[in-house]
Amino acid sequence: MGSLLKQKFLNIINRDNEKEVKYLRTLHEIFIKIKRPFLLLFIPILLLLLMEIYFYKFSPDDTYIVLRYAHNLFLGNGLTYNSDGKPVEGYSCFLWVLYSSLAFLFNIKPLDFIKISGMILSLINLFLLFNLSSKFDNNEDNHFIRLLPIYLLCLSPNYALWAVGGLETQMFITFLLISTISFLRYRDKRSNTNSFLLGLSFLLLSLTRHEGVLIFILTVLYHVLSRRKNFLSELKAISYPFVIFLLPYMIYFYWRISYYGYFFPNSFYAKNQHFLGTVVSNVGFYYTPILGLLVFLFVFIIFAYLLNSKNKQQVEGLNYLLLISLFIVSLSISLSSWMPGFRYMVPAMPLVFILSKEGYKNVITKLNDKTISRNLHKITVKMLVTLFVLAFIFSPLIYLTPFTVSRTNHFIKLQNSNIELAYWIKTYIPQNSTLALGEVGFIPYYTEMRIVDIHTQPLTDEYLAHNGFNVEYVLDKSPDIIIFKYEEIEKKFIREELYDALGNDYTFLFKMHFSGSYSYYIYKHRDLKLIAGAMEDLPKSASRSVEVLRKKYNQKGAKI
């Protein structure tokens, strides 16, 4: 009796057209039967847009550094941070700064302009990703397989976060995908049009972020070395796109050197002082969740190579994606990344997802192999396929959401405190005053005052970036207001020296606590006269108490 029931059950499983077995079909098989790919895209894109709306309030302080440069450019002050001082290259996204200035030109709210632009670019990038991914697909691949990289990207909260973060991430991804597509087309068919597009796309990539130059050099080297049998002819052929890239870029580079005076942007010198500490902290804390995700996805990448049966041309294309992905990941670890969402690593994710898709295809092929099917019941294979699909699709969401959301909420609190403090400064501090602080984004942008950057990585101060922190230099600037961040004093960062040197020249005004151990301590110069009503109308989170700071540091000279 038992054997008859078992046989009847297996017969039901094998009759795919029977209504009784609908509940046994796996997610993978359901997707195969959908003929219109746009139906498969609706839910993932909807989820992406919902995440972008959820993160819309997130605006890191660096976003306002870009907007301050863009505003000064619009006002005719040039690409400078302090309009009355020597130009300092405190940004690393030239093309994005130029684009952001359009908001002021057309009288559009700047923050909304760059956020909505990022959202639009994030959708454009999905179609560019599909175009690039399809170059490795076969005619027999179903729509679900073809769209798998898009699903993964749409379910990545850090991709959504940096669509609305207000920085150049999405623009960089756009030009990275266009450059990669152009390069593969150039390898398929060498023509004047493809050569021109190759040079132009890498030019735009490099003007968006400086590492685009390194990616272009890697691309040229990969091209000539992968076809080293015809080394001289390939080198000669690629000289045309190289010239298209080089001539405009050298004009831009000459302008940079003559305008700012240094080979690298100021951020390079500022961050280079803490290079080793940055690498250790990034690997140990900031990038732990995404490295865990990449390890999981690289398992599928291994399958892409061990089980690959593609032609040589496709394999060379996959090798190129792997090279660029590893370069971006390696570079990201060396860059300072205090902001949530793994900003510098996000551009590598579309390429990694394509590589992972190829590995996934090979896994599915092996699971459905006849030799395996003879050893396992068909239902077991279906269950394995379903598990692979679910784990693969939702891995970005599972790995990245808790870390991204928690750190994003922290920075939203910081942003709200900056808004409160900036409004108070704008209202009660004379406009011609000088502020010394480390958060040189929103407060300087909103107040439009002269700034002395006393951050541990002073992006907007040339002297401190090149020479390290110097108390005498800061005090010689005679800042009217000095804003300390207690969290950084507690960790014995550079501003402790400045705090100890205040003496009788500065008077404590109030502190603002906004998250965890993060607090602002605001001091004013003795000669600064506040506008009437300042101390009666303090920000909501302000307090006159300094017990915590007095307990840790003996304030012999500073007045309370």
Query: CA-CA distance, 547 to 553, in Å (whole number)?
Result: 10
Helix (H) or strand (E) holding 506: strand 506-515
Same domain, 446 and 308: no
DSSP symbol at 286:
I
Helices (H) and strands (E) in the chain, counts: 26, 6
CB 521 within 8 A of CB 549: yes
Same domain, 401 and 491: no
Give the pLDDT score at 121: 98
Q: Is position 79 within any domain? A: no
Same domain, 380 and 515: no
Same domain, 506 and 546: yes
Same domain, 404 and 510: no
First-to-final CA distance of the chain: 91
Instruction: Name the residue with tokens 């959401």.
Output: 401
Same domain, 404 and 292: yes
Give the pLDDT score at 490: 44
pTM: 0.83
For residue 542, is it left (φ>0), alpha (ψ between -120 and 50) or beta? Answer: beta
Give the pLDDT score at 275: 46
* CATH code for the domain of 505: 3.40.190
Query: CA-CA distance, 64 to 447, in Å (whole number)?
Result: 12
Rg (CA), the chain: 28
Same domain, 306 and 161: yes
Give me the amino acid identity at 382: K
Q: Is position 509 within any domain? A: yes
Give the pLDDT score at 388: 54
Helix (H) or strand (E) holding 481: strand 481-485
Give the pLDDT score at 104: 96
Q: Is position 57 within any domain? A: no
Same domain, 284 and 392: yes
Give the pLDDT score at 556: 39
Give me the amino acid identity at 134: S
Residue whose C-alpha is closest to residue 485's, from 527, 443, 446: 443
Query: CA-CA distance, 332 to 346, in Å (whole number)?
Result: 9
Give me the amino acid identity at 15: R
CB neighbours of 115 closer than 8 A, spacing ≥ 6?
A: 56, 59, 164, 165, 166
CB 459 within 8 A of CB 267: yes
Supply the range of the domain harboring residue 456: 429-552
CB 353 within 8 A of CB 153: yes
Residue 501 in tokens: 């040197």
Q: Which long-range contacts (CB under 8 A, 24 or more apart) does 290-296 make?
A: 290/158, 290/342, 290/345, 290/399, 290/400, 292/399, 293/395, 293/396, 293/399, 293/400, 294/329, 294/352, 296/395, 296/399
Q: What is the pLDDT along the chain (560 residues), one digit of tens a residue?
A: 545 544 544 454 454 444 433 433 444 454 444 445 556 788 889 989 999 998 898 888 899 999 999 999 999 999 999 988 789 999 999 999 999 999 999 999 999 999 999 999 999 999 999 999 988 877 656 677 788 889 889 988 889 999 999 999 999 999 999 999 999 999 988 888 889 999 999 999 999 999 999 999 999 999 988 887 887 888 888 888 999 999 999 999 999 999 999 988 888 887 765 544 444 444 444 555 555 555 555 555 665 555 555 577 788 888 899 899 889 888 877 665 567 777 888 899 899 888 888 877 776 666 555 544 444 445 445 545 555 555 555 555 555 555 566 666 767 777 878 888 899 999 999 999 999 998 888 999 999 999 999 887 888 888 888 888 788 888 888 899 998 876 554 444 445 666 667 777 888 888 887 766 678 888 899 899 999 998 888 888 777 655 444 444 444 334 33
